Amino acid sequence: MPRTARITISRPALRHNLQHVRTLAPAARAWAVVKADAYGHGLEALLPVLDAADGLALVEFDRAQWLREYGWRKPILMLEGAFEPADVELAARIGLSLTVHEPRQIDWLSAVPPHNGLDIHLKLNSGMNRLGFAAAEYRAAWQRLRALQSVTDITLMTHFANADLADGVSQALAVFDQVMQGLGGERSLANSAAIIDWPAAHRDWVRPGIMLYGASPFGSRSAASLGLEPVMRFESRLIGRQRLAAGDAVGYGSTFVADRPMSIGIVACGYADGYPRHAPTGTPIAVCGVRTRTIGRVSMDMLAIDLEPVPQAVVGSPVELWGEQVPVDEVAASAGTVGYELTCAIAPRVLRHVTDDGTR
């Protein structure tokens, strides 16, 4: 019998979230951001729905090549651009749009034969100080690219460091607009947080990631309050029950000690499945559709939960680690991280299931 830890991926939820992007940014085209195997959701199963996007954006060249072999014909944008000259050749051969964020990548482009029609997204560092040309260097880079016959289009691009914070884009947006003054070409700036909060940043192409998967880009606003539906449900079952007396401890390190008699359940899911080990006692979890809390330390294959609010729970009862009853963002907040990290960390041994209707 397989272990019971599994994820269920809802294609209708993805469709809804993509439609929500269209509603928020009706005039822009949308790159669906699918790096890290669609934030851990599994890209292949999502492609029939993502076909409604205008293109896919990711960072892994092997995956881009797989997409072309699989039959994806729409644009593909490489968000970190080429890592070596061979990537430029591949991009020219199979038609990948390339981000350019540093001079060496322009050197590589110069070596490509002139008939290849490359589509370039030239990245400005607008304050994040991760990738991109500084404001003072940007126009020179643009001119170098413009002079290359192999380059047909240059989209003007940046990425916000603080779009999830109050007034988090105005400074970066001002830098962007100042640097781009008089330059032709389309504009691409907005991630999920900017799509939701900063219509002035929508421009020609938006780049939604986390919101497509139904998690929140904001620390303090729930995905549900943003009109998003969770695409991933992570669930397992109870494989044990214990009755504790006052003073009994639970798990490695005995970090939880019962202060009264209580029932606990043992769930077949641990950090080797992708559940965060740092989730402390009190992290929300649901059993039999009732919310309760984890207790003690998460171990490799198991974790313990409080069954006091759920007396009907028995060995075999269904447990939701995250999904509709327990938003992934709540588990993430409890564990001191973000929903992005949790969905990306689902382990290979977890069973995967895809649904096209409400049933699981």
Return residues touching ligand PLP (CB under 6 A).
Answer: 33, 35, 79, 159, 191-192, 207-210, 217
- Within a 10 A sphere around the Cβ of 282, how many other Cβ atoms? 12
Identity of the residue, 216 or 317, whose beta carbon is nearer to ligand PLP in the bound complex: 216
Identity of the residue, 79 or 313, whose beta carbon is nearer to ligand PLP in the bound complex: 79
Identity of the residue, 185 or 280, whose beta carbon is nearer to ligand PLP in the bound complex: 185
By three-state DSSP, how is residue 254 classified? Answer: helix
Helices (H), the chain: 11-24, 35-39, 43-50, 61-70, 85-94, 103-110, 135-146, 170-180, 192-197, 328-335, 339-344
Query: Of the residues 39, 123, 138, 252, which is catalytic?
Result: 252
Active site residue 35: yes
Integer Cα distance of 163 and 191 in angstroms: 8
134, 143, 174, 268, 350 from 2: Cα distances, Å: 52, 58, 55, 11, 10
Identity of the residue, 272 or 344, whose beta carbon is nearer to ligand PLP in the bound complex: 344
Q: Which residues pair with 17 in a beta bridge?
A: none
Query: Of the residues 35, 138, 213, 271, which is catalytic?
Result: 35
Q: Which residue's Cβ lies closest to ligand PLP?
A: 209
Give just the sign of the alpha carbon dihedral 187, 193, 196, 197: negative
To ligand PLP, the closest distance from the beta carbon of 207 in angstroms equals 4
The answer to whether 141 and 122 have CB atoms below 8 angstroms apart is yes
Identity of the residue, 214 or 217, whose beta carbon is nearer to ligand PLP in the bound complex: 217
Identity of the residue, 197 or 235, whose beta carbon is nearer to ligand PLP in the bound complex: 197
Lookup: tokens for 308: 């006091």
Q: Which residues pair with 120 in a beta bridge?
A: 98, 154
Active site residue 252: yes
To ligand PLP, the closest distance from the beta carbon of 270 in angstroms equals 27
To ligand PLP, the closest distance from the beta carbon of 196 in angstroms equals 9
To ligand PLP, the closest distance from the beta carbon of 33 in angstroms equals 4
Integer Cα distance of 295 and 279 in angstroms: 9
Integer Cα distance of 63 and 22 in angstroms: 26
Provide the pairing of β-strand 249-250 with 97-100: unpaired
CA atoms within 13 A on the CB side of 342: 30
To ligand PLP, the closest distance from the beta carbon of 209 in angstroms equals 2
To ligand PLP, the closest distance from the beta carbon of 159 in angstroms equals 4
Catalytic residues: 35, 252
